[in-house]
Structure 1
Amino acid sequence: MRRQFLAVVGVALSALVMSVPAAAAPKAKPQAAQSAGVYKVAIDPGVSLADAAESMRLRANALNLKLVAELPLSKQVESITSQPQRTVTIFQFCDALTAKDLIDVNIDFAVYMPCRIALIEDAKGQGWLVMMDVNVDAIAKEKRVPQVLKDRINTVRQSLIDIMQAGAKGEL
């Protein structure tokens, strides 16, 4: 029951967290890009996908975001097809208290939780970290989210960007 609650909370928080306007994101470096609802960062050359994943886990822990799920999709496909696959792993992070408060405002936020960051190896072997990036101001206004909670959402989103940047650089 607790795992289900955390999963629901994480979905709601991730959608709202990912909806902070692009202007709130740090200045994009050449390896970072934003496009229609997506924020992505290229993993630096010399940083393995395993090192990027470990860096994200460590940074999330340091920022008090809990890793509530890790889905090795490419390994699941390999087991089904017996064919090697490019890496695709979905990490789900959560700030349970903020997520609970969002759900208290409106249960519709449950569809956005937990906050997801995908680790993806493209066809050329380049690693990417990708997350949803939607307009939090519009959602917060529509759902009547108090400013103090909106500020917490912005803090979580900034933490997710920090996690992605640490992963891309292989930082601990």
Structure 2
Amino acid sequence: MLKRTLATAALLWLLPLSVPTASEIDSANAPEVTMYEIGQTVLKIGLMEGVGPDDAIDAMNSKAIELNMKLVGHQNVSGELEARGLESPRLEIFQFCRPEDAIKMVRFNTIYAAYMPCSIALVEDGEGRFWLEMLNLDMIINAYELPPELQAIAITINGEMLSIITAGATGDF
């Protein structure tokens, strides 16, 4: 109950001032807020020597096609900033999904929609080194007991995303 009370208070702090304060709200009628305390949420892997960012992108896209994972989104954040005249280290986000698997997960529990599509970010750090980063899908798989069919889907997607990020980091097609 303490977590819910603190989370509710934090949520109410973010709302406009015309909303009653946490002490004025009957806790039985307060909005339900669930927060998950999960460490180690991101897998981060550096590009191997000799693998450039464009090589990594080509390798990830090639591996995704091989695995029948659809590239459903690409956000070139640094490109957008540069188009606005702002300097930026390179940052691109690639979103992969297999829609038929996604809908099965969401039908089981809508919370899985918040983790979709599976994303891999290409990030240039302050020293000019490139990294690929993705959500540690193990935490999702282990956080909730899934029926066997969905457990198999989740494990398969995790393996495929690990194959895609590894292909990018190594430049292997």
Percent identity reads 33
Once the two structures are superposed, the pairs formed by residues 49-88 of structure 1 within 5 Å of their partners are: 49-80=53-84, 82-88=85-91
State the alpha-carbon separation in 2 of the partners of residues 65 and 139 from structure 1: 24
Structure 2, unmatched stretches of 5+, are 1-38
Offset of 1:124 from its aligned partner? 1.0
Conserved 8 A contact 1:140-1:150:
no
Task: Identify the residue that residue 96 of structure 2 maps to in structure 1.
Answer: 93
- Quickly say closer, same or farther: Cα 1:138–1:48, change in 2 above 3 A: closer
The 1:105–1:46 alpha-carbon spacing in structure 2 relative to 1, beyond 3 Å, is: same
Pair 1:170-2:171 in alignment: yes
Tell me which of 117, 125, 128 is aligned to 1:125. 128
Matches within 5 A, 1:7-18: none
C-alpha displacement of 1:43? 0.3
The alpha-carbon distance between structure 1 residues 37 and 162, as it changes in their structure 2 partners (threshold 3 A), is: same
2: distance between equivalents of 1:60 and 1:99?
Answer: 16
Larger radius of gyration: 2
Equivalent residue in structure 1 for 2:44, among 29, 33, 40: 40
Counting matched residue pairs gives 134
- Residue type at the aligned position of 2:92: T
TM-score (norm 2): 0.73
Partner SS, residue 86 of structure 1: coil
Q: Which digits, 9 at most, give the CA deviation of each residue in 1:94-153, with x for residues without a partner?
A: 011111101111222211110000001111111100011152344322xxx212211111
Q: Where does residue 148 of structure 2 map in the other structure? A: 147
Query: What CA RMSD, in Å, does the superposition of the two structures yield over aligned residues?
Result: 1.4
Tell me the equivalent position of 2:157. Answer: 156
Contact 2:123 2:130 in 1 (8 A): yes
The question of whether the paired residues in 2 share the 8 Å contact of 1:54 and 1:167 is answered with yes
TM norm structure 1:
0.74
CA distance in 1, matches of 2:78, 2:142: 35
